Structures are given as structure tokens and as C-alpha cells.
Amino acid sequence: AKELGRNNYQFYSPDMNAKTMRQLGMEAELRKAIERNDLCLHYQPQFEIETGQVVGIEALVRWNHPERGMIPPEDFISLAEETGLIVSIGNWVLSRACAQNRALQDAGLSPLRMAVNLSPRQFNQRDLPEQVAKILRVTGLEPCWLELEITESIIMQDLETTIDQMVRLMELGVRISIDDFGTGYSSLSYLKRFPIQTLKIDRSFVRDIGSDSDDTAIVAAVIALAHNLKLEVVAEGVETQDQLNFLKSRGCDLAQGFLFSRPISAEALLELLLSQAAG
């Protein structure tokens, strides 16, 4: 018992304690943020490479902290995932993004696709398809204008369950895309079995187009593979004209990145879309 006690004591080292305390504090704050509506969405447009037109938008969550300012998702999504708070955050993001997309259509703009990120825990909620259906009903958004982005880490869990959940979502009429493609290790043969429409090439490959011949080859191969499987390809993290030229030469469908636009507020998005519509 004494030994055990000592081990326990070691486990709760002062460092660990401080870290746990910080996390507990942050968890409580995050709960408050959800209640107080301190989360907000920014939107990054996706451009059709051929025409230069905005055809899609990705919704990206931020935490507008009263003292610390805008906190990026990287600083709170994993905590939300660990604590389960991601389920309520995720539902809020879905509702907000669908309502925003519906509002753009109501403003007379031609319909765009709204992409929303799903975390593994959120994807694995058995009632996710019912939640999505309800949100579509309440916001009045047609399902075809919603795209759910999932990462390969989801896929690596249980294949049959994953496919089953994807099919239930597909049956609602929403689109599914694989995000950060190439960074996980999903077998290529899985791709054929998934009811998906889009592959998003991770920005780590796009970044090194031109300078790293391996990454350049990977990007070219992913575009060719996706097209063979009748999937649409989105390149993310496009920052330079050279990257865009290469993607265009390979027939990549859509591009998203700082070259076109950073993630922007709903107001700025509306302005951008209105100026595009005006020609």
C-alpha cells in the first residue's frame, strides 16, 4: 500500500497538477463560452479553379474570449473532444453554418456549398444523422448545400461502423468529404467503398509544390486518383500563384487558401459574394 501511495504521489507531480488545473479551468471556461454564445464562425471561400468563382465555403470555429481575444480552434478543439463538449459545440457549428448558408440564399445569391468539420467523437455519435436532419429542417437548408468534412482518423476506427454512419448521412442528401487527405494512413482501397464526393489535399503537400518533388508527385497522383474515382478535389492552403498554376495544369477542381482569401467574418463574406455577383 505504501508503494502504491508513493506511485500515486509521483503521478500527481506538481507539474501535472498545474496542467490539470489549467485544463479544468479551461474546461469550465469553455462550458461558459458555449452558454454565453462566445463561439463564432469564420468562413473561408473555396474557388473553382477553372472559372475563379466562389462555389463553396468552409465554416471554421473560433472562441471569442472576453479577455484573451480570438482563440483559434487548435487551442480548444482537442480539449472539447476529450471532455465531450465537442458534441454541443459541433451541433452549434452545424446550426450556425446552415443558417448562414440559408441566409446567403435568401439574400438572392446563387447557392453555395457550406463545408463543416466533424470531429471523430461527433461523427461517432449514433444520432448524428438525426441531428443533421433536424438542423436542416429547422434552418430550411437543402441537404445538397451541406458538406461534412471528416478526417482519416475517423476512418481508422471501425470500418463497417464508419461506412454505416456515412451511408446514413449520405441518405439525407448531404455531401461527405475526406479532409487532410494524405496525412492519415487510410488504405486507398477504402476510398472506393466510401459514399464520398470530395477529397481535400492537405496543405502540407500543397505547400511544397514545386520545391519538393515528392510532394509535387503526391499532389499530382492524388488529383489523378480522385478523378478516376469520380471524386472532386479541393486543394487547401493555396498561397502562391505557382501552386495554383500547377494545380490548374493537373485539373484540380477547387482551391482554398490565403492566395484567394483568409477565413473571414459573415459580413465580409457577404460583401465578397455580392461584389462577385455584381461582376
Looking at beta carbons only, is 30 or 234 nearer to Ca ion?
234
- Residue-by-residue DSSP string for the chain: -HHHHHHHHHHT-HHHHHHHHHHHHHHHHHHHHHHTT-EEEEEEEEEETTT--EEEEEEEEEEEETTTEEEPGGGTHHHHHHHSTHHHHHHHHHHHHHHHHHHHHHTTPPP-EEEEE--HHHHT-TTHHHHHHHHHHHHT--GGGEEEEEEHHHHTS-HHHHHHHHHHHHTTT-EEEEEEETSS---HHHHHHS---EEEE-HHHHHTTTT-HHHHHHHHHHHHHHHHTT-EEEEE---SHHHHHHHHHTT--EEESTTT---B-HHHHHHHHHHHHT-
The entry of Ca ion, ligand C2E, none near residue 119 (CB within 5 to 8 angstroms by kind) is ligand C2E
Instruction: Enumerate residues 104-123 that contact Ca ion by CB under 5 A.
Output: 117
To ligand C2E, the closest distance from the beta carbon of 23 in angstroms equals: 18
Residue 147 binding Ca ion, by CB under 5 A = no
Looking at beta carbons only, is 203 or 250 nearer to ligand C2E?
203
To ligand C2E, the closest distance from the beta carbon of 73 in angstroms equals: 3
Looking at beta carbons only, is 29 or 180 nearer to Ca ion?
180
To Ca ion, the closest distance from the beta carbon of 84 in angstroms equals: 21
To ligand C2E, the closest distance from the beta carbon of 213 in angstroms equals: 21
The entry of ligand C2E, Ca ion, none near residue 73 (CB within 5 to 8 angstroms by kind) is ligand C2E
Looking at beta carbons only, is 72 or 84 nearer to ligand C2E?
72
Instruction: Enumerate residues 199-258 that contact Ca ion by CB under 5 A.
Output: 236
Q: Which residues bind ligand C2E (CB under 6 A)?
A: 44, 60-61, 72-74, 77, 90, 93, 117, 119, 179-180, 203, 236-239, 256-258, 263
Looking at beta carbons only, is 25 or 72 nearer to ligand C2E?
72
